[in-house]
C-alpha cells in the first residue's frame, strides 16, 4: 500500500500527465507554453522514468524532462507507478492520480488519448486520469482524505501521432501560431536529446501541427480531444469552424 502523501499548498491552473518523460512536450507542449506565457501556472506529472526506452538511461531522461518542463514554463514531478512499459489500469493508480488532482487543484487537465493504436502506457494513463478526475470529486474516499475534494472543469486528451488521434468526434484546435511560440515548443522538445537524436520526433510533431493549422487557416494548431461535451455560456463565446479549404 502506497503511503498517504503529505499535503502541499501547491496549485496550478493546468495539469498535464505524461506516461513517459517526453510525452507532454511532444504531444501538447505548445499549448502549455501558450498557457504559461499568458501568466498562468502549469504543472507536469510524469508517470515513469523512461526505463524501458531503446535510447537514453532513466537518469538522463529525468534530467531531460526537468529541462523540458522548465522550457515550457511549468513545474514537474514524477510518480512511481508500475514503470515504463508495465503500466496497468488499477484502482490504486487512479487514487494516486486523484491525490495529485486534489493537491494541485487544476482547472484544466491534459492526458494522453484513449486510442489503443499506440504505446499501451499512453492510453492506459489516459484512462487512469479520467478515473482519477471522477474519484477526486468524492468526499468519502478514505485514501484521499488528506485533501478536500476537487472537481476539474475540463479534461482534454492529446495525441502523440496521427494513429493515436481519436477517430470519432471533432478535435478542439488550439492556434499556436503566435510569434516565438513554436520556437519555444521546439526548444522544449529538443531538451529530450536522447530521443530526438534517434528519431525525427520534432519533425513529426511540427508536421502534425502544420497540417492541423492548414486545415484551420493558421500556421500551426494543436488538436485536443475533449473527454466531455464543451459548454459555452452563449454563442458569442464560440470560435470559428476550421474550414480553410
pLDDT tens-digit profile of 197-245? 999 999 999 999 999 999 999 999 999 999 999 999 999 998 889 887 7
Asked whether residue 121 is domain-assigned, the answer is yes
4 part of a folded domain: no
pLDDT of residue 62: 97
Instruction: Give the CATH number, domain containing residue 42.
Output: 3.40.50.10320
42, β-bridge pairs: 14
**What is the mean predicted confidence (pLDDT) over 83-97?**
97
Largest CA distance in the chain: 55
Does 2 have pLDDT greater than 50?
Answer: no
Q: Is the pLDDT of residue 129 over 70?
A: yes
180 class by beta-carbon count within 10 Å (0-12 exposed, 13-18 middle, 19+ buried): exposed
Tens of pLDDT, residue by residue over 31-69, are: 999 999 999 999 999 999 999 888 989 999 999 999 999
- In the chain, the percentage of residues whose pLDDT exceeds 70 is 95
User: Grid coordinates standing for 179?
Assistant: 510569434
> Residue 161's pLDDT is what?
96
236 falls within a domain: no
pLDDT of residue 4: 38
Question: Which residues make Cβ contacts (< 8 Å) with residue 64, sequence separation at least 6?
Answer: 21, 22, 56, 191, 192, 193, 194, 195
- Residue 135 is predicted with a pLDDT of 98
Instruction: Tell me how far apart the terminal alpha carbons of the chain are, to the nearest angstrom.
Output: 55
Q: What is the pLDDT averaged over residues 143-162?
A: 97
The total number of structural domains in the chain stands at: 1
**Residue 2, domain member (yes or no):** no
Please identify which residue in the block is written with the cell numbers 486523484: 98
Average pLDDT over residues 149-165: 97
Residue 7, in any domain of the structure: no
| Statement: residue 85 has pLDDT above 60 | yes
Q: Above 90 in pLDDT, residue 10?
A: no
Residue 123 lies in a domain: yes
> What residues make up the domain containing 23?
14-229
Q: What is the pLDDT of residue 53?
A: 85
Per the prediction, the chain carries an average pLDDT of: 94
Residue 215 forms part of a structural domain:
yes
In a domain, 144, yes or no: yes
How confident is the model at residue 40, as a pLDDT?
A: 97
Amino acid at each position: 500500500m502506497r503511503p498517504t502523501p503529505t499535503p502541499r499548498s501547491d496549485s496550478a491552473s493546468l495539469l498535464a500527465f505524461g506516461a513517459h518523460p517526453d510525452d507532454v512536450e511532444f504531444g501538447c507542449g505548445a499549448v502549455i507554453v501558450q498557457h504559461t506565457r499568458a501568466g498562468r501556472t502549469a504543472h507536469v506529472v510524469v508517470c515513469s522514468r523512461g526505463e524501458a526506452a531503446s535510447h537514453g538511461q532513466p537518469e538522463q531522461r529525468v534530467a531531460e524532462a526537468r529541462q523540458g518542463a522548465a522550457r515550457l514554463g511549468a513545474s514537474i514531478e514524477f510518480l512511481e507507478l508500475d514503470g515504463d512499459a508495465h503500466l496497468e489500469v488499477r484502482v490504486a493508480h487512479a487514487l494516486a492520480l486523484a491525490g495529485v488532482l486534489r493537491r494541485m487543484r487544476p482547472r484544466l487537465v491534459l492526458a494522453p488519448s484513449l486510442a489503443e493504436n499506440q504505446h499501451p502506457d499512453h492510453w492506459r494513463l489516459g484512462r487512469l486520469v479520467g478515473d482519477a478526475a471522477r474519484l477526486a470529486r468524492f468526499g468519502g474516499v478514505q485514501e484521499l482524505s488528506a485533501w478536500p475534494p476537487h472537481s476539474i472543469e475540463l479534461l482534454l486528451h492529446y495525441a502523440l501521432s496521427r494513429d493515436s488521434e481519436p477517430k470519432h468526434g471533432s478535435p478542439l484546435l488550439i492556434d499556436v501560431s503566435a510569434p516565438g511560440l513554436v520556437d519555444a515548443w521546439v526548444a522544449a522538445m529538443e531538451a529530450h536529446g536522447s530521443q530526438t537524436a534517434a528519431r525525427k520526433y520534432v519533425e513529426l510533431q511540427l508536421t502534425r501541427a502544420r497540417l492541423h493549422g492548414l486545415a484551420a487557416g493558421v500556421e500551426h494548431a494543436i488538436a485536443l480531444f475533449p473527454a466531455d461535451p464543451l459548454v459555452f455560456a452563449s454563442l458569442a463565446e464560440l470560435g470559428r469552424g476550421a474550414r480553410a479549404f
